[in-house]
Structure 1
Amino acid sequence: MSSEERFEAVEAELAQVRRDHEELIRTLEAMTSGTAEASSATGDTESANEESAEVACCSWADQADAEAWAALMDWADWLTVTYQTAEPFLTGCWTRHAGVVEDLAGLKLAWEHAVSACAEVEWGPTETLEYWHDRYLPGFIHRARSLHGLQACQTRHESTHARPAVTDRDGAVVSGTGEKVA
């Protein structure tokens, strides 16, 4: 990714932060005004909270558009060329492994933060990128090889079967209240 592309990505992130900030200010002003707007804003906020709760359970892959997928694939190619290890940590079929996709998307997000101007706020750009190399990259490489099953795909893709959900939703009880969850 070129410096110009990184700069454009940071500008896009800042624009989104500004939009979110303005929306938050409008909502807070409406809530504190004590008018009908406040109840309407509260309803909107509750609706937004319900939507975000739904999104929180949604995978990166389900939310990503073609452009985001292309960016992740480009970054994955850059990552494997840049960090050549004794054994490959990504295989050509990584896009067919949901755990790898989610993990790689998180790794990319952490890397983008580490190389962005935002990194200077906490530690500085050098320390943030060093932390990414020490903490995030080795963890990802280990998980890709062992946890996500890419080790089995060194010569050809090996399908994994999704495990069924194990949560006993019928017997779930809210901690502290003793009430059953509907």
Structure 2
Amino acid sequence: MTRLTLEGLEDQLDELVMLVSAVTEDGLERTDRLEKAVGTLREQLQELIEHVAATEAEDAGEEEPASWVERATPEAWVALADWVDWLQSHYEVSGEHRLPPCWPRHKGAVEELAALQGSWKNAMLADMKAEGVGDAAVYWHDRYRGEGLRRACSSINRACFNTGHTEPKPVPATDRGALPSGA
């Protein structure tokens, strides 16, 4: 709800107050009840206006997103490493989807694995809540497990799989001259 909409509601409430005060003396008791109700509505509307203003102020100062690698705590790194070790052991991952031990040195692989871990947690929790009638775990296995591992592995230099860790080569920056004029 926007501030403009709330201010329009406030104007309508003012009009209602004028109509209530125009009620004849015969309806004095009803008028008192209506005035109390209007007063309560006015207070609630003011709270809403203040809440919307505060929310708009918060949204204006929104943070820029940060990658998992940039925001992860040391505990989150350990939890991810433990989970990746468990994943590879539990599913007996081999061949082209088996991660080399240096995977934490490859940011792209880390981002993929952190996302895979998050989706696994959500799927398993959803399945637990469904008490045996959910399909979140099946969907995770079908859609995310293999594909997530494939993407993580594709973010790692092939030499790391064969001869040990190899530092990634710097990727050239985008040719800014190729951007449309005025960009």
TM-score relative to the length of structure 1: 0.62
- The answer to whether residue 169 in structure 2 is matched with residue 161 in structure 1 is yes
2-structure distance, mates of 1:89, 1:164: 28
Consecutive aligned runs of 4 or more in structure 1 exceeding 3 Å deviation = 29-32, 37-41, 117-121, 167-173
2-structure distance, mates of 1:161, 1:106: 24
Structure 2 counterpart of 1:177:
none
* Matched length: 137
SS at match of 1:117: helix
Q: Name whichever structure is richer in helix by fraction.
A: 2
Structure 1 counterpart of 2:139:
131
Q: 1:144 to 1:89 in 2, by over 3 A?
A: farther
2-structure distance, mates of 1:119, 1:135: 19
1-structure distance, mates of 2:68, 2:46: 32
Q: 1:149 to 1:45 in 2, by over 3 A?
A: closer
- The answer to whether residue 121 in structure 2 is matched with residue 106 in structure 1 is no
SS at match of 2:49: coil
Q: Report the Cα offset of residue 30 of structure 1.
A: 8.7
* Partner deviation per Cα, 1:76-100 (whole Å, 9 max, x = no partner): 1101111113426111100001111
Matches within 5 A, 1:1-182: 33-35=48-50, 38-48=52-62, 51=63, 54-55=64-65, 58-87=66-95, 89-117=98-126, 124-125=133-134, 127-145=135-153, 147-154=154-161, 155-166=163-174, 168=176, 171=179, 180=182
Greater relative CO (CA pairs within 8 A, separation 6+): 2
How big is the alpha-carbon RMSD for the aligned residues of Structure 1 and Structure 2?
3.2
TM-score relative to the length of structure 2: 0.62
1-structure distance, mates of 2:46, 2:75: 37
Contact 1:75–1:108 (Cα < 8 Å) also in 2: yes
Q: 1:111 to 1:40 in 2, by over 3 A?
A: closer
Q: 1:114 to 1:166 in 2, by over 3 A?
A: same
For structure 2, the residue ranges without an aligned partner over 5 or more in a row are 1-43
Structure 2 counterpart of 1:16:
none
Q: 1:172 to 1:108 in 2, by over 3 A?
A: farther
